[in-house]
Amino acid sequence: MEKTVEKTLVIQRYNPEQDQRPSQQRYQVPFDNSTSVLDALLYIQQSLDPSLAFRWSCRMAICGSCSVMVNGIPKLGCKTFLREYSGDLLLEPLAHFATEKDLVSDMTLFLQHLQAVKPYLIRQEQSAATTPATKPQPHKQTPKQLAKYRKFSSCINCGLCYAACPQFGLNPEFLGPAALTLAQRYNLDNRDQGKAERMPQLNGKNGVWGCTFVGFCSDVCPKHLDPAAAVNQGKVASATDFVIGLFKP
């Protein structure tokens, strides 16, 4: 048997029913090469302190629930391993969001911003209900057309990019990296016809123009989909839309 090695996790605690402000609590957690931050949190909850609150679900970096700040950097708990850190780990809830309890953040703003850009395929054509004579046709897409937006399509809505974005921290009205990336993803999709509905959101000061290309969002994105590039490509699209707008009544 391997000797048990322990690591110290310093976790920000906040109980809205008792605490005025968050405080920190230390836990000793045994770990090996395969212990993730999420595993450590589950160990604490099951063996040391059942009152610790945090979100999690899939344990394989696809649900985007277990986002936390590890030593000040936004991370997915399931994709971050204790072995990567030489000293203690400081775990805090996502920056720039309000904390509900312990490591659980209030993601309402994030979801509202996602909703604002209509991140789904929009078709202008009549639906099958209005013209029952014509059967709905599948929307075809070539590999080349797929490649145009594919790199922006793997967002898991984990919110790490918002915790990395100082512009969202400074101005919570800023639509933020993930929402603007999704807007760009659908605007680039040849099956979509909703660009005209999305552009007004992008054109505002809280749309693409709230971004100053800090670029940290792309660094922390667990799916490497370069949100900073998507947002700034959105600036080109918005600037083009601006020029077109000058010539339209």
Question: What is the binding site for another protein (CB under 8 A)?
Answer: 14, 16-17, 21-22, 72-73, 95-100, 106, 116, 166, 169-171, 200-201, 203-207, 209, 212-216, 219, 226, 228-229, 232-233, 235-236, 238-239, 242-243, 245
* Cα dihedral value 223, 39, 12, 62, nearest 10: 20
Q: How far is the CB of 2 from another protein (least distance, A)?
A: 34
The CB density around residue 90, as the number of other CB atoms within 10 Å, is: 17
Which residue number, 56 or 174, has a Cβ lying nearer to another protein? 174
Q: How far is the CB of 149 from another protein (least distance, A)?
A: 12
In sign, the C-alpha dihedral spanning 236, 238, 239, 243 is positive
Q: Which residue has the tokens 């589950």?
A: 42
Using alpha carbons only, give the angle 147, 152, 99 rounded to the nearest 5 degrees: 170
Q: How far is the CB of 192 from another protein (least distance, A)?
A: 19
Of 145, 231, 215, the C-alpha closest to 183 is: 231
Q: How far is the CB of 154 from another protein (least distance, A)?
A: 17
Which residue number, 123 or 205, has a Cβ lying nearer to another protein? 205
Which residue number, 193 or 219, has a Cβ lying nearer to another protein? 219
Which residue number, 75 or 96, has a Cβ lying nearer to another protein? 96
3-class DSSP assignment, residue 149: helix
Query: Would you say 31 and 6 are in contact if contact means Cβ atoms under 8 Å apart?
Result: yes
Q: Which helix (H) or strand (E) holds 181?
A: helix 177-187
Assigned token pair, 237: 């699209």
Of 96, 221, 245, the C-alpha closest to 165 is: 96
Q: How far is the CB of 146 from another protein (least distance, A)?
A: 16
Q: How far is the CB of 231 from another protein (least distance, A)?
A: 9
Which residue number, 63 or 116, has a Cβ lying nearer to another protein? 116
**For strand 67-70 and strand 73-76, is the pairing parallel, antiparallel, or unpaired?**
antiparallel
Which residue number, 43 or 209, has a Cβ lying nearer to another protein? 209
